[in-house]
Amino acid sequence: MRLLEVRRHTHRHSPAPHVSQHGVTLARQVGAGLGQFDRVVTSTLPRAFETAIAIGYAVDEQLEQLSQMNDAVDAEIQWNAGFAAWADVVKRGGAAARFAHDQAELWRSIVRTLPAGGRVLIITHGGIVEAGTIGCLPPDTPVDDEAFCGLCEGVRLTFEGETVAAIEFVRVAQRSS
């Protein structure tokens, strides 16, 4: 088995591209309990890379495919629609479904590079976490989690070969700083 953990980046002062001090504090809190990863991959946007560093990990690779959704996807679903809404839109086919399946294939290709029992952390963005997660699940898997991923939240997917054997939605208690 191999473990894929995918998290949304931490706080920033939008539209600034860099994480805020509040974001660094949150990322440090999250990183304190994560353990070791064999590999860390982020999007090419500064807030994802900086989140990985703030959590406590060196970044092995940055991938453009983890950076944003295209306009066709945005026309079908809002990035913050939540897991259940992503599951519904993926069932209908179209640009969002293609995007979700492309993300899932990217994630699987990253997981394939791991040794048996290996762990990888991906830091990406809201909407991308939800889309890739739904793309990894077998069709018609019930998804009743209505929420989208808040900052530093995400999923843990346990893979047996190419198949997701277990999924855990990871939520973060947002502490004020």
Tell me the three state secondary structure of residue 46. Answer: helix
The pLDDT of residue 116 is above 80: yes
Q: Which structural domain range is residue 27 located in? A: 2-151+159-170
**Looking at the 3D structure of the chain, how many domains does it have?**
1
Inter-residue contact 2 to 166 (CB < 8 Å): no
According to DSSP, residue 23 is labeled H
Q: What is the pLDDT of residue 97?
A: 97
> What is the distance in angstroms between the CA of the first residue and the CA of the last residue of the chain?
38
**Do the domain assignments include residue 175?**
no
pLDDT-based confidence at residue 177 (cuts at 50, 70, 90): very low
Omega into 15 within 30° of 0, i.e. cis?
yes
pTM (predicted TM-score):
0.94
Distance from C-alpha of 114 to C-alpha of 95, rounded to nearest angstrom: 30
In this prediction, residues 94-109 reach a mean pLDDT of 98
In a domain, 64, yes or no: yes
Residue 64 pLDDT greater than 70, yes or no: yes
- DSSP class of residue 15 equals T
- Residue 91 burial (CB count, 10 A): 11
Read off the CATH number of the domain in which 31 is found.
3.40.50.1240
**33 vs 54, higher pLDDT:** 54
> Is 100 a member of any domain?
yes
The pLDDT value recorded for residue 33 is: 87
Please state, in angstroms and rounded to a whole number, the distance separating the CA atoms of residues 89 and 159: 24
**Which position has the higher pLDDT, 15 or 119?**
119
Residue 102 pLDDT: 98
**pLDDT by residue (tens digit) across 144-164?**
777 899 999 999 999 999 999
Q: Residue 176 pLDDT more than 80?
A: no
**Residue 176 covered by a domain:** no
pLDDT in tens, 16-53: 899 999 999 999 999 998 999 999 999 999 999 999 99
Q: Report residue 142's pLDDT band, with 50, 70 and 90 as the boundaries.
A: confident
